[in-house]
Structure 1
C-alpha cells in the first residue's frame, strides 16, 4: 500500500481557506438542528404536501452535513487544521454516527485509486443495487447501528416515534441514496471508459440542479481535478 499520508498532500487545499467555509458549516449545522427540532414536533399529515417537502429538506440538510465533512477531508473548511478536523468530526457524527477518521482514509483512497480495485467507492459490476450495497457495507459499521438504535430509544422519550422515523431516520437513509447516486454512481458508472485522467463524468452545466441534487458534486470531474475547492465554490470551476 502506498504512503497515503505523503501522497494525500496533493488532495488537500494548500492556499489560505476562505472564512466563509466555517460560516457556512456552522449555518448548516444550526439549520439541520432547528429543522429537525421543528419537524420532530410537527403533527404529521400525509395528505399535506408539506410533509413530503419537509422530508426532502431534511434529506438535503443531511447530505449537506456529509458534504461539509467531505470538504474537511480536503482541508477546505478552515485554514486551522484543528477547526477543520473538529467540524469534520462533528458533521460526520451528526450524519448517522459516521466516524471522520475512517471516512478520511477511505475517501482519499477513492481519489488516489479512482475506478480501480483499490477504490472503496467503486464496483466493477456497474449494477446500481449491487454497487449501492457494497457502498453501504464499506461505510456502515456495527457501532453506528448500535448508536443509532440507542439514540432512537432515548429520543423516543421526548418525541413521537413516528416523527423520529419520518424526519430523522428516513432522511438519513434517503441521503445515502442522494450521495451515492449523484456523487458516486452517475460520475463513475463508466469507470475507465471515461476518456479523462480522473475517470469521472460530470453533469451538464445547470447550477440550480447541481445544487439541489447534491451540492454541486454532480460536477464530479471538476471536483477530482480541483479537490481543494469547497462545495460552495465548485460551480465556479465548471
Structure 2
C-alpha cells in the first residue's frame, strides 16, 4: 500500500468518524436550550461531512480508495454511500462510469435530457437518478429509528433528526449538483457544446469547503485515478501550464 493510499485512508477514516461523532453528539442535544443562530454552524458542519461520505464513495467507484484491493474498496464505498443516503453502490458505480465514458451525451445519466437544460430541470433529473422509492423507504425508516432512539435523551429528538440528518442531506445534494455537476458541465450544453468540463476558479481552501475539490472537474475528468485530495495539486499544474 503506497503512501498516498495510506494518507487517503486516514483522511477518509477521519471524515467518517467526524460524521458519526457529530451525528451522535448533535442528535442528543436539547435544541430548545440553544439560540437559533447557534444551530447554523452545526447544520453546515453536518452538510460538509455528509458530502464527504459521497466523496469517499466516489473515490471507491473509481477503485482508488483501496487500489489493488477491489473487494475492500467496494465494501468501504458501499458503506459510505449507504450512510450517505442509502444509495446502491453498484448502480451508482455503473452510472458514474457511463458519465465518464459518455460525458454530455444523451446516454450520460448526469446530463439533462429531453432538450431541457435549465438548472431546475437538471437538478430534478439529477435527484431522480439517485432517489428511488425503496431508497426513500430506507431513509425514512432510518430517520424514524434515530428519532425513536434519541427520544429517550432529548425532547427535541424528531426536530434534531430533521435538522441534522434530513436538512444536511438535502443541502449536500445541492452542493454536489451545483459544484460537482451543474457549474462544471453547463458549458457542454447547447449552444456552447464545449468538448470538456470546466474547473471552477477557486482557491484550494474554498474549493475544499465548496465540495471537496469536485469543482476542479476538468482535472478529475482528465485523470479519474486521482483521489479528491490530490486535485488541488493537479489544478495548480494546469494553471501553470496555461500561463506558460
Work out which of the residue numbers 137, 151, 155 in structure 2 matches 1:146: 137
- Of the structure 1 ranges 53-62 and 144-153, higher mean CA displacement relative to structure 2 is found in 144-153
Q: Which residue of 2 is the match for residue 7 of structure 1? A: none
Task: Give deviations 1:178-236, integer Å, cap 9, x for gaps.
Answer: 0001000001112153644xx20111141111100000110000100011100011111
Moved over 4 A (4+): none
Alignment partner of 1:71 is 2:59 = yes
Work out which of the residue numbers 5, 11, 15 in structure 2 matches 1:24: 11
What's the CA shift for 1:48? Answer: 4.0
What's the CA shift for 1:142? Answer: 1.1
What's the CA shift for 1:49? Answer: 2.6
Alignment partner of 1:39 is 2:26 = yes
Count of residue correspondences:
222
For the residue of structure 1 that corresponds to 2:140, the secondary structure is helix
Alignment partner of 1:120 is 2:117 = no
Give unpaired runs (5+ residues) of structure 2. Answer: 151-156, 236-244
What's the Cα RMSD here?
1.7
For the residue of structure 2 that corresponds to 1:18, the secondary structure is helix
Change (3 A) 1:16 1:75: farther
What's the CA shift for 1:78? Answer: 1.0
Alignment partner of 1:223 is 2:217 = no
Work out which of the residue numbers 103, 123, 128 in structure 2 matches 1:132: 123
Change (3 A) 1:203 1:183: same
> 1: distance between equivalents of 2:46 and 2:116?
31
Q: Which residue of 2 is the match for residue 163 of structure 1? A: 160
Q: Contact 2:188 / 2:194 at 8 angstroms: preserved in 1?
A: no
Q: Contact 2:78 / 2:88 at 8 angstroms: preserved in 1?
A: yes
Q: Contact 1:55 / 1:166 at 8 angstroms: preserved in 2?
A: yes
Q: Which residue of 2 is the match for residue 97 of structure 1? A: 86
Structure showing the higher helix proportion among its residues: 2
> 2: distance between equivalents of 1:189 and 1:82?
35
Structure showing greater Rg: 2
Give unpaired runs (5+ residues) of structure 1. Answer: 1-14
For the residue of structure 1 that corresponds to 2:85, the secondary structure is coil
